[in-house]
Structure 1
Amino acid sequence: MHSPILMFQSTRFEIVQDEDKLTNPGIFGRRLAEWMANELSTRGYHALGEVIPEDFAWCVPVAAEDCELYVACANAEEGWQTYVFADCGLMARLAGRDPRIEAVAGLYSAVRAILEDAPGISYLHTQ
């Protein structure tokens, strides 16, 4: 389960040489993910450890009680993109307790507010 994708433009996030060797070729976003990890505390969230390279993005693991919560950060055709996703155990979902909806919605609101308030971010929109 994931949130809508937030698309935006910015020149603040440089591409680290060879960072896409840890993701798929042409997938960047390490500096965006590191910045987002630092900014989350301004909205009451806590990033857990280092950002994680995945095939599709650089991910920020975020502290959550009932599920694994992440902010995915990557380049896009028109700039940058980020979205929130969560995973929790199958048993919780089968028992009718799916905490992902609330967890994703809260973190998505925080990420959107961070981007809206940050200098150097423009053309913020959802896809």
Structure 2
Amino acid sequence: MAQIEFTSAKFLPVLPEDCQVNPGAYGFELAWWLAQTLVKSGVVTSYPVGEDWGWLIEYHEGDAEFMIGCGSQSDPGEGDGGQPVAWSVFVTQVRSLKQRLQGRSAPAIAARLTAAIVAALRAEGIAVDVDALT
């Protein structure tokens, strides 16, 4: 799994706190922006899906499925003031039991997805930190 972290005011929530998936759990605007930006480079994802911790978009290539999670690292209401908040994006492969037992993974695809996300953020002038996690 790769994790991308950055601080920005670009993806602050449009709707008020009580409309978020959970207090302080932002990420729809980031996930939606990523879906729109990635498709321009040929990476077609799903629409954003809400989770308790934030939002995700899905990507499929062949029989490989990936989850791109987008969430804030903020306190409730922190997105209301227009100040930058900390964001986290992760890319992880979703594998079936059969794929796990067979040791099937697609690290090259995960690396390409991560690179595309990093490039898109940097093109917006956003400095990012990237950690490759296992």
**Fold shared by both chains (TM-score > 0.5):** yes
Unpaired runs of 5+ in structure 1?
none
RMSD between aligned alpha carbons?
Answer: 1.9
**Paired positions, count:** 119
Determine which of 93, 108, 121 is the counterpart of 1:115: 121
The CA deviation at 1:71 is 1.3
The CA deviation at 1:67 is 2.6
Determine which of 52, 55, 58 is the counterpart of 1:55: 52
TM-score under structure 1 length normalisation: 0.80
Q: 1:19, 1:74 → 2: CA distance? A: 15
The CA deviation at 1:114 is 0.8
Q: 1:98, 1:10 → 2: CA distance? A: 32
What's the counterpart of residue 87 of structure 2?
80
Q: 1:95, 1:65 → 2: CA distance? A: 16
TM-score under structure 2 length normalisation: 0.77
Q: Map 1:16-95 onto structure 2 (within 5 A).
A: 16-17=15-16, 18-20=18-20, 22=21, 24-48=22-46, 50-77=47-74, 78-95=85-102
Unpaired runs of 5+ in structure 2?
75-84
Q: Which moved more, 1:90-99 or 1:109-118?
A: 90-99
Q: 1:6, 1:96 → 2: CA distance? A: 25
